[in-house]
Amino acid sequence: MSKYEPLWNWIKKNGTENFSLSFDEMEKIEGFPIDHSFLTFKKELSEYGFKVGKISLKEKTVAFEKN
Using one digit for the tens of pLDDT, what is the confidence trace for 3-59?
999 999 999 999 899 999 999 999 999 999 999 999 999 999 999 999 999 999 999
What's residue 39's pLDDT? Answer: 95
In this structure, is the dihedral angle defined by the CA atoms of residues 5, 31, 28 and 34, taken in order, positive or negative?
A: negative
* Burial (CB count within 10 angstroms: exposed 0-12, middle 13-18, buried 19+), residue 33: exposed
Q: Look up residue 22 and give its DSSP letter.
A: E
pLDDT at 26: 98
Question: Please, which pLDDT band fits residue 1 given cuts at 50, 70 and 90?
Answer: confident
- CA–CA gap between residue 21 and residue 44 (Å, rounded): 17
Tell me the pTM: 0.91
**What is the model's pLDDT at position 56?**
97
